[in-house]
Amino acid sequence: MKLRPLQDRILVKRIEEEQVTAGGILIPDTAKEKPQRGEIVAVGNGKKTEDGKVLPIDVKVGDKILFGKYAGTEIKVEGQEYLIMREDDILGVIE
C-alpha cells in the first residue's frame, strides 16, 4: 500500500462480524451495522508537541482494535475500504 498516515493518525481495515447468530439465524446485509472492530494497516509517526518533540503512538500495525461507532473517515484505496482516524478515537486493543 502506498498510503502513510501523518502524525497521530492510523489506517484501519474493518473486521466483518459474524453473519449468523448463535441461534443459527442468518442476518441480511441490510440489517447489519458497520463493525466497530478493525485491524491496523498503517500508523503515522506520532503527534508533535509544541516544542517539536514527537510522542510515539501506542499501537502498531497488526493490532486489532475497538473504535467508536462514528469514529474516523471512510476512504477507498486501491478498491479497498478503510478508515483513517486519530489515535484518540481508539477505545481499546483486543488481545
Share of the chain above pLDDT 90, in %: 39
CA distances 52 to 29, 47, 48, 49, Å, are 47, 9, 6, 5
| Site of grid cell 497521530 | 8
The pLDDT of residue 22: 63
pTM: 0.77
The pLDDT of residue 32: 55
CB–CB of 35/11 below 8 Å?
no
Q: Which long-range contacts (CB under 8 A, 24 or more apart) does 26-34 make?
A: 33/69, 34/69
